[in-house]
Chain A
Amino acid sequence: MERILEQMPRFFSGPNLILLLESAGLTLAMTVAGCLIGFGLAFVLVFLRQTPGLWALPLRFVCILYVEVFRRIPFIVVIYLVLFFIQTVTPNASLFTIAVIAICLYAVAYTADIIRGGLESVPLAQIEAAQAMNLSRLQTNLRIVLPQAWPVIIPPAIAFAVSFIKDTALVSQVGVFELTFRGKELNNQGYSGILVFGTIALCYFLMSFPLSMLGQYLEKRLATPRGQRRSRKIWFT
């Protein structure tokens, strides 16, 4: 305990704080980049999976296989696979790129299921009404299905991204200078483990908690019917 108190002023010095801030920024940047790209690719995966027709059967199978397999492999194993695969192909890829690719691969598998759930929540009758008016598959998806699926997709997708802020801690293992890596480094420099990892935990908490609150707020807001939402907006302006 005395050791912690004694180390505190030195631990919370300017350079250390800047390092921590930078690392937190890197953690966030990795998560956002990986999840955004992953989210986009997940859409492609879901649309490929919905391709009708017998010829697309292998395609649908591969899409399902991808989601199932990646949900069953630990993130740390994915990180190692990506690291060694990318390093074999292009030896001078940056660790940050490798981390983002790993996050992205993982995010595709998880968000694909979220997106599929959202699209399937739109009643079939809406799609039939569009078909009866001769809207194409793409038009139906873009104009009718997607706009109605957003409120169902967005909250869990944000929840996933926020929870992934925590999972990126594992990327420290391959040497990206994010928060957890910084923590181990400071611990190696002789700072108390309780002090270091308590502070690091707090940093994660400060990123994760407000964002998860934001996600919950959005979920509530999007759950209110559109009509009421509009009239409320008019009330305030």
Chain B
Amino acid sequence: MPHLAVKDVRAKYGSLEVLKGISFSIEKGEIAALVGPSGSGKSTVLRALMGLTPITGGAVDIAGETMNYSSAKEVRAARDRMAVVFQQYNLFQNMTVMQNLTLAPLKIKKWNKSEVMSEARRLLGLVGLSDKADAFSDQLSGGQQQRVALARALALKPQILLLDEVTSALDPELVNEVLDAIRKLANEGMTMVIVSHEMAFVREVADKVVFMDAGQIIEAGTPTELFDTPRTDRARDFFSKILRH
């Protein structure tokens, strides 16, 4: 039984159908990468999984439980099992790094305070920012903020981690520090769904690549299959443009 199964998920912005039935699944510890041209609906898939974009059809299985996001309770249940890191970090501006990390574990999950604090410190160490616990986000570089956002997501102990173009807003020299942190997570066996334009990185860490265009999945498979021997014209066209550099 897959750890995450997305089953025929559909979404609309007004009358425009942005997800036209998306289905894919991954096992525990696997990493799926959503790739495709901008506007293809990759990020919308993650937003739909987090209940930020309402879905108009379909369902999602997480560790054997089915959720169809039809009620506030179901959306809460889904959010309880997953965590997301956004392209623009979206750290809470009015809080320190430590407060960002501990807000939801303390106030929403109501976990034990001393455990939450020590776990938060461990995660800051993991992303290499132990000395920034009391900093505000406007005192950090983009790469540092994104690593804090990663730690904040991990502090929720999610069963699945969603990463939405986490390096796209960063200066080139800061990209690697964030990718390194994600590599560590991959090695620890975290189940992840990644939206990324870093094809070399996708090839390195992903177990499954899902190529999307215009709100549909065109082709899915292992990185080698998709990058080296794409079966569809659209995938071939896209990868030949993007991998040439």
**Chain A residues with a Cβ under 8 A of chain B:** 123, 125-126, 128-135, 139, 143-144, 147-148, 225-227, 230
Contact A128 B52 (CB under 8 A): yes
A144: chain B residues at CB < 8 Å are 92, 94
**Contacts A144-B94, A226-B93, A230-B136; is A132 near B52 (CB within 8 Å)?**
yes
Contact A226 B94 (CB under 8 A): yes
Which residues in chain B, 102-145, are within 8 Å of chain A measured between CB atoms?
103-104, 107-108, 135-136, 138-139
Closest 3 CB pairs of A and B: A147-B94, A129-B90, A133-B104
Contact B52 A131 (CB under 8 A): yes
**Chain B residues with a Cβ under 8 A of chain A:** 50-52, 76, 79-80, 83-84, 86, 88, 90-94, 103-104, 107-108, 135-136, 138-139, 156
Residue among B50, B93, B107 with the highest chain A CB neighbour number at 10 A: B93
B108: chain A residues at CB < 8 Å are 133-135, 139
Tell me the smallest distance from the CB of A141 to a CB of chain B, in Å.
Answer: 12
Contact A134 B94 (CB under 8 A): no
Instruction: Kindly state the separation between the CA atoms of A27 and B111 in the bound complex, as whole angstroms.
Output: 52
Contact A132 B84 (CB under 8 A): yes
Contact A226 B50 (CB under 8 A): no
A126: chain B residues at CB < 8 Å are 90, 92-93
Cross-chain pairs A/B with CB under 8 angstroms, 19 sampled: A125-B86, A125-B90, A129-B92, A131-B51, A131-B79, A132-B52, A132-B83, A133-B79, A133-B104, A134-B76, A135-B103, A139-B107, A144-B94, A147-B94, A148-B94, A226-B93, A226-B136, A227-B135, A227-B136
Q: Of the candidates B52, B88, B91, B138, which one forms a contact with A226 in the assembled complex, judged by CB atoms under 8 Å apart?
A: B138
Shortest Cβ distance from B108 into A: residue? A134
Residue among B90, B91, B94, B139 with the highest chain A CB neighbour number at 10 A: B94
Instruction: Kindly state the separation between the CA atoms of A131 and B136 in the bound complex, as whole angstroms.
Output: 21
Instruction: Kindly state the separation between the CA atoms of A170 and B92 in the bound complex, as whole angstroms.
Output: 45
Instruction: Kindly state the separation between the CA atoms of A192 and B158 in the bound complex, as whole angstroms.
Output: 78
A134-B104, A135-B103, A143-B107 given; name 11 further pairs at CB < 8 Å: A129-B91, A131-B52, A132-B51, A133-B103, A133-B104, A133-B108, A139-B107, A148-B94, A226-B93, A226-B136, A227-B136
A139: chain B residues at CB < 8 Å are 107-108
Shortest Cβ distance from A227 into B: residue? B139
Tell me the smallest distance from the CB of A231 to a CB of chain B, in Å.
Answer: 8
Instruction: Kindly state the separation between the CA atoms of A147 and B136 in the bound complex, as whole angstroms.
Output: 14
**Contacts A125-B86, A147-B94; is A132 near B139 (CB within 8 Å)?**
no
Instruction: Kindly state the separation between the CA atoms of A83 and B92 in the bound complex, as whole angstroms.
Output: 47
Instruction: Kindly state the separation between the CA atoms of A148 and B51 in the bound complex, as whole angstroms.
Output: 24
Instruction: Kindly state the separation between the CA atoms of A132 and B88 in the bound complex, as whole angstroms.
Output: 14
Shortest Cβ distance from A144 into B: residue? B92
A230: chain B residues at CB < 8 Å are 136
Contact B104 A125 (CB under 8 A): no
Tell me the smallest distance from the CB of A145 to a CB of chain B, in Å.
Answer: 9
Shortest Cβ distance from A123 into B: residue? B90
Instruction: Kindly state the separation between the CA atoms of A125 and B50 in the bound complex, as whole angstroms.
Output: 13
Tell me the smallest distance from the CB of B35 to a CB of chain A, in Å.
Answer: 22
